[in-house]
Amino acid sequence: MIIDEISLFILDMDGTLTLEPSSWDYVHRRLGINNHSVTRLYRNRYINYYCFFQSDIKAWLHKYPNLKKEKVVEFLREVPIRHGADELINVLRKNGIRTAVISGGISWLFDIISERSKIDYNFSNEIFTDEYGYIVPEGKVRVIPEEKDLVVRKIQEELGIGKDQTASVGDEMENDRIHRYSKYRFIISKKARDNLIPIPSGDLEDLLRILE
């Protein structure tokens, strides 16, 4: 069984553990904000990731100067969790497998997911607030989406776990860097791609069945 071979399971968050492809875009929509022009600047490499990260927050604050963390968390609690996510994480932990989220998504969504199922490592991006809970246009970037493989290697080196003991799962929007150092690579998709094992149903319980 695959589950007996692995010691580390890497999880994308947005679009993988959740049904919403982007926690950032979800908050934008709830606030009635369109930041597509800055997205294009980032994708065309006119700005770096931290500037892109900041621009999203600044767009929120331009429209809502007194926006508080609790309001954004309220929106993120609306994001549906993918069926089977809790079961997958809990079975992995029961089998002594370390779990890590590596995501460019908002860390507050990770906190919400962790209320349901404990995940060992959180590598997602943190928005800062002041002492009163008001959002400020700063934060901590733990993950640059195009460099997820570097984060995977960091975790593997800290734990002394190699590629042959690692599995990963992401969605179709994933750039595949998250899978670079995994032996077993899964994708939430109806079609296989680049040696990725598809989960056509999108149900993470089906992934669990493959592992067991």
CATH of the domain at 152: 3.40.50.1000
Considering the domain boundaries, does residue 166 fall inside one? yes
pLDDT score of 176: 87
pLDDT score of 172: 87
The answer to whether residues 13 and 112 touch, using CB atoms and an 8 Å cutoff, is: no
Considering the domain boundaries, does residue 162 fall inside one? yes
| Total domain count, the chain | 1
Considering the domain boundaries, does residue 55 fall inside one? no
Domain of residue 141, residue span: 2-24+77-211
Considering the domain boundaries, does residue 69 fall inside one? no
Instruction: Tell me the residue type at 40.
Output: R
pLDDT score of 175: 73
Considering the domain boundaries, does residue 10 fall inside one? yes
Indicate if the alpha-carbon torsion angle 53, 54, 55, 59 is positive or negative: positive
pLDDT score of 173: 83
pLDDT tens digits along 18-67: 999 999 999 999 999 998 899 999 999 999 999 999 999 999 999 999 99
Considering the domain boundaries, does residue 160 fall inside one? yes
pLDDT score of 194: 80
Please tell me the distance from the alpha carbon of residue 170 to that of residue 186, in angstroms, as a whole number.
7
Please tell me the distance from the alpha carbon of residue 89 to that of residue 184, in angstroms, as a whole number.
16
Considering the domain boundaries, does residue 62 fall inside one? no
pLDDT score of 131: 98
Please tell me the distance from the alpha carbon of residue 135 to that of residue 27, in angstroms, as a whole number.
13
Considering the domain boundaries, does residue 15 fall inside one? yes
Question: What is the DSSP code string of 115-167?
Answer: HHS--SEEEEEEEEE-TTSBEEEEEE----GGGHHHHHHHHHHHHT--GGGEE
pTM for the full predicted model: 0.95
Q: In the chain, which residues have pLDDT < 70?
A: none
